[in-house]
Structure 1
Amino acid sequence: MNKKIRTVIIDDEPYSRDELSFLLKQYENIEILGEADSGERGLEVVMKKEPDVVFVDIEMPQMSGLELANTLKSLRKVPIIIFATAYPDYAAKAFRVQALDYLVKPFDEDQLSETMTRVQERLALEQGGEQKPVKIARLAVEHEGRIIYLSPLEISYVFREERDTMICTSNQIFSTKTPLKELEEKLNGFPFFRTHKSYLVNLDKVEQLIPWFNGAYQVKVVGRKEEIPVSRNYVKALREQLEL
């Protein structure tokens, strides 16, 4: 996505605004349109600037972040809401007002990165027009008795280990019984490449291609320490996909 993501930060704590502003400025495609120290002032800024995304604290005097989010839903252009708060107990209420995500202070850079991936995915899906129904594509994975819904753009790579398929994000590994071939079909349309008979790699996450032996290589992906094998039969095609 080449278009700048227009963003507003609303928080009554100046240090929290400064921290979040600093972290967001590390993203080249983020444009911070303004900040506000209360829900009332935040509403004014949002109505004037019409941002794509609003980061808003929940606990604020007078108008809370939840009240502000409900008010924003009535605007002509409804921004994406990301709650940024020190109180994790509000998560359920946050999602009832259709917030896209929920960040807990102090901000974790990996969690923020995943949030920005979701924002970019949502905006990309919405580019087809407001009247077009939007399907949110998620990969369902069972984990510790729960079903976790992963955005394909969050996945760094996938590999087969004995009878299980392992799905790796920047900070977690999930296990599924779904065969690698079936996952590859589900991920069709996303930037995944088979580097080896047992590995699928998200090309958007690749940061290094490292010579190994006998014409084979290994790749390093963002956020992971391990190196992923690339069979020599796949090296040429991989480089054609990665390089200008």
Structure 2
Amino acid sequence: MKAVIIDDEEKAKRLLRVLVEENCPQIKELKEASNLPEGVRLINEFQPQIVFLDIEMPGYSGIQLLDFFAPSQINFEIIFTTAYSEYAIKAFQLNAIDYLLKPLRDEQVAQAVEKACVHHGKSQVSERLEELRNTLKSSNIRKIGLPVADGVLFVKFDDIVLLKADRMYTEVHLKDKDPILVSKPMKFFEDMLMDAKEFYRPHRSFIINLRFIKQYVTQDGGYIVMDNDENVSISRDKKDEFFEVMQNT
């Protein structure tokens, strides 16, 4: 069998490749892609039977794979890799979608591949993916997985005070905890958080939780002070929008 890994994290890709090569003799050829469009091209060229797909990548959700293929073209099994919370995992289970929970383990990978081999060609993958997309849209997913040194830290949306861009990293400030530096760009969090009404992006370097705003200061061109005393820049063209958002919150 042939397989493709689609994941923006190089370390995650390397680990999954090692686990597949060591535990899944059914897979004879394995290729990798770092984003969804690249993965789509690879699927079309390589015609794999199994696709390992990160559920959330900068700019795209793994579910958007549906937007690139007609239902009849999805003739491969999909195994999602995710650091999502228990709510999303319930959505996977509800819709009979295989998933690997980060940090990955060898027996978990072996079992998922075994299942995919058994199901290949026998299941309506596109229908299950569409149902999953609908379930995720309607689910109240109120936690986010932050990759940390020893695993994944699941954090409630309500505990996030602000996020600050640091080049290709993001500094996550939490209520009653020290900030955490996460190896994900701000775009990753924007895609996940901006549908939640309490989050707002006043500046390209910041996403803030409106519930933790303490003060707006007019000096020095204007800036926001959060409950943890962090100062947050606000773009000149965002000021009117910011006050409108605050009035409607």
TM-score of Structure 1 vs Structure 2, range by shorter chain: 0.3 to 0.5
TM-score w.r.t. structure 1 length?
A: 0.44
Greater RCO between the two (CA within 8 Å, min separation 6)? 2
Larger helix proportion of the pair:
2
